[in-house]
Amino acid sequence: MPALVPRPTQAAFRPGHFSLDDDTALHIGAGAEPAADLLRTLLAPATGLALPRSPEGQFTLALDSALGHLGEEGYILSVDPHTALLRAAHPTGLLRGIQTIRQLLPLEALSAIPRPGTRWLLPCAEITDIPQHPWRGAMLDVARHFQPVSYLRRYVDLLALHKISVFHLHLTDDQGWRMPVAAYPKLTEIGGHRTQSQTGPAGGDAFDGVPHGGAYTRAELEGLVRYAAARGVTVMPEIEMPGHVRAALAAYPRLGNHPERALDVWTRWGVCDTVLGVHDEVLDFCRTVLDEVMDVFPSPYIHVGGEECPTTEWTHSVAARERAVSQGLADPEALHGWFLARIGDFLVGRGRRPIGWAETGAELPLDFTVMTWRDPAHTLTAARRGHPVVSAYHRATYLDYAQTGGAHEPRAQPGPVVDLRAVHAHDPVPEDADDRAAGRVLGTQTQLWTEFVTTPAHIEYLTYPRLCALADRGWSGATDWADFSSRLAEHTARLDALGVERHP
């Protein structure tokens, strides 16, 4: 059996192959055109095959409403020596099946340059494949260290190969604002640039003295969304609030609690005490920003951060204390929930689903989907409270932690070692969850915070092969470690063929 990552739900392989060659044509059913386009796009560089459309095509791509039990992402791939048939109930299922076909073909099919003389053979097989969890995500922080959109497209390609469904793009933070907003041009003009970066952990005093900055254009982000959608990946934006906003306050101090103070874009790591004010102009600002975000990103989920928000400024602000009293809140600290409830109501009113980081699992408004990261117990707390939950437990999904304890590893976020086995072993559903709570767990995702990650090569070194483990667990459910590690040993040859700068 070929070593597929993630592992299919059911797979039976038989002797023989179906050969793709210059005579191979595609029989494309109604609605299957995007999958055919993706197949051609992915195979053309190495194979040179045109794969023209023909009613007599030997390779069929078809949507079949009778396959509704496969869900949105499931598919069936049937291959014999004379025909290949890929079927699904939904176009996304066909896109997932295309990635399986890529893995079944010879390694050379992954090449970006022509590979003449290679026989493009698909093994005869019957594969039925349905994901265990709908949310299999990967978060990349481009606020701490900006990456060009050309690399984000490559990042998406690698996610799609592993059937990752959500690309969580962390666009704003204390150290940088990367999302253009027409009504607030200083967000990127000023907030997109810092004078230097801290070189050690939070709390230290070592800096590199090197300016850092960058921002995307609206056209670049819209293009990225289309590129990802063509590969079955949803780009979910994150705009932090009401904390982690120092870059925005450097651009527009009046949005803070001390409008008379000039602020810089933060050059340190850690948690910054400066947060948004709670006056009406701030809420109008957030709504305007989120309106533009929703124009660019059709994602059903909009992430608004919400975590690590110090309330010291609100406690000392006359305006914030008055706001707390006028809203009947017990104290200024309660403004955190009040603020996010206003933002959540706004997003729900626009037909979107608010999502945020949960510190305890019980502090976000009830209409929020929550990402729990501190403790698996918080996943159970949130699910029992009625929230849809994505498990992002830091000891199993944070890729900025070191992969081994070896001195040869690059600088990592202070914290535990998160090795390949820890990622693979993490079950997003808490052990004590009843069926109702378990049903509210959407899935899991990796996180890569980039305080110490500056280059694409470093991103890939930290991401692979650990993301393979999360992809396998999220799609296939619990798989035996020996089985996974055996498949991964072969799968790393695919990563190498794609030029991935992976951890050894």
The token duo for 244 is: 């982690």
Inter-residue long-range contacts of 288-292, CB under 8 Å, 24+ positions, other chains counted: 288/181, 288/183, 288/184, 289/179, 289/181, 289/184, 289/187, 289/239, 290/239, 290/343, 290/346, 290/347, 290/350, 291/350, 292/179, 292/180, 292/181, 292/182, 292/183
Contacts of 133 by beta carbon, 8 Å cutoff, 6+ apart: 428, 441, 442, 443, 444, 474, 475
* Catalytic annotation, pick one of 308, 333, 375, 427: 308
Q: Is 447 helix (H, G, I), strand (E, B) or coil?
A: strand
Spatial distance between the Cα atoms of 364 and 379, rounded to a whole number of angstroms: 13
Residues 457 and 444: beta-carbon distance below 8 Å: no
Coil, strand or helix at 85: strand
Q: Are strands 172-173 and 176-177 parallel, antiparallel or unpaired?
A: antiparallel
Q: Is-catalytic flag, 308?
A: yes
Two tokens at 90? 């939904």
**Amino acid type, 44:** A
- Count other Cβ atoms within 10 Å, centred on residue 191: 30
- CB-based contacts of 482, cutoff 8 Å, min separation 6: none
Task: Find the catalytic residue in 141, 173, 238, 400.
Answer: 173
27, 145, 212, 244: which is the annotated catalytic residue?
Answer: 244
CA-nearest of 185, 175, 136, 182 to 391 is 136
Annotated catalytic residue 367: no
Report the amino acid identity of residue 37: D
Q: At what angle do helices 91-104 and 33-47 cross, to 10 degrees?
A: 20
Active site residue 244: yes
Using alpha carbons, select from 450, 447, 485 the residue that is nearest to residue 468.
Answer: 485
Tracing tokens 């053979």 back to the chain, one arrives at 121
Residues annotated as catalytic (active site), given as ranges: 173, 244, 308
